[in-house]
Amino acid sequence: MKKPILFILTILIIGSRSFGQTKSPQEFGFRHIILKYKTDNVDVLIKSKKGEENISKPLFFFCQGSLPLPLIKYHEKDIYGVFPFNPDILSVKYHLVIVSKPYIPVIADYTTLSSSFNYIDSSGKFPKGYSDRNLLSYYVPRNIEVLKYLQKQKWVTTTQLVVAGHSEGSTVAAKMASDYNKITHLIYAGGNPFGRIMTMIGQSRESETNTDSTRFGEDEIKYWESVVKDRNNMDGSKGDTHRATFEFSQPPIKYLEKLKVPVLVSYGTKDWSAPFNDYMRVDFIRQGKNHFTFQPYVGTEHNFFPLTKDNKPNYDIFNWDKVANDWQNWLNDK
């Protein structure tokens, strides 16, 4: 089985803070709730403004991107960001919620992880429990069950429910908004409204330099043909399963265009998915879908970093906090 390109970047490092040797989410300022979904334990982290944990506020549910990363990655005095943005920007008005990947520990010393901060088993592969559940058809109903539980808590206001997602998480968030009518606002960031395979092809096309030896886009299309022919294949030994690729490649635009709630679409114009977001924007203008707001970040890539002259991300310029502030401003207007 061909290994698909893992085009979704890992969660960003947004700085370090001083901590002693810690092993619990609570010591990092999170509430940690363990819920049951079917036979699985689900780790839920809640970030609230300090001292306002029991003040009634709406939820801001964030769906992270792909890959089996623990939510909290630390070593000695350093902690890597659970959210790609500073959560204090949004915790003034919201309780922020994020859910762990299945069968991945919620917290880990990053020296025990792979070089990309993935949690891998002794053979160097993704855990089977993760690969078996790394599906749109798993994440969406699981997350909705988490929302149903949280909205029953006294510290949650139910008049507003914001769901946001970045990259793979944007597809999860969009499908959640389609399936759960209690969601009042959707933030769709860094997604491809025509599905994962189109981003994979776009990334590969960019790497092509000649017609003889770099037909990478053609290879992706051949891979897609094999996925469609064997779409229920759950072999995750070489990367994402065929079923995961098939599910995440179904075009989210099919259910995005049916939504009636306010939707904010955030994307970098140098991202591989940018042309598809531009197409969606043009088509929705044609259809008069005024409840969609599009926020392009000109000259930035998938994680909103600007590009250098040699077309590489400039990691010295961090825009995620600006993005989160723009989300907050949009929510204030809506």
State how many domains the chain has.
1
For residue 159, being part of any structural domain is answered with yes
| Per-residue pLDDT at 20 | 43
Whole-model pTM: value is: 0.92
Domain around 147:
25-333
* Nearest alpha-carbon partner for 216 in 4, 57, 44: 4
Query: Which segments of the chain have a pLDDT < 70?
Result: 1-22
Q: Is residue 32 left, alpha or beta, with left meaning phi > 0 and alpha meaning psi from -120 to 50?
A: beta
Both tokens of 171, joined, read 């597809």
Whether 70 and 32 have beta carbons less than 8 Å apart is answered as no
* Nearest alpha-carbon partner for 52 in 91, 15, 22: 91
For residue 224, being part of any structural domain is answered with yes
| Per-residue pLDDT at 23 | 78
For residue 13, being part of any structural domain is answered with no
| Per-residue pLDDT at 2 | 41
Burial, 323: exposed, middle or buried (Cβ in 10 Å; 0-12, 13-18, 19+)? buried
For residue 88, being part of any structural domain is answered with yes
| Per-residue pLDDT at 75 | 85
Q: How far from 200 is each of 174, 196, 219, 273, 314, CA to CA, in Å? A: 20, 6, 10, 9, 22
For residue 98, being part of any structural domain is answered with yes
State the CATH number of the domain containing residue 150. 3.40.50.1820
| Per-residue pLDDT at 12 | 40
For residue 135, being part of any structural domain is answered with yes
| Per-residue pLDDT at 24 | 87
| Per-residue pLDDT at 89 | 97
How many Å apart are CA 266 and CA 187, to the nearest integer? 7
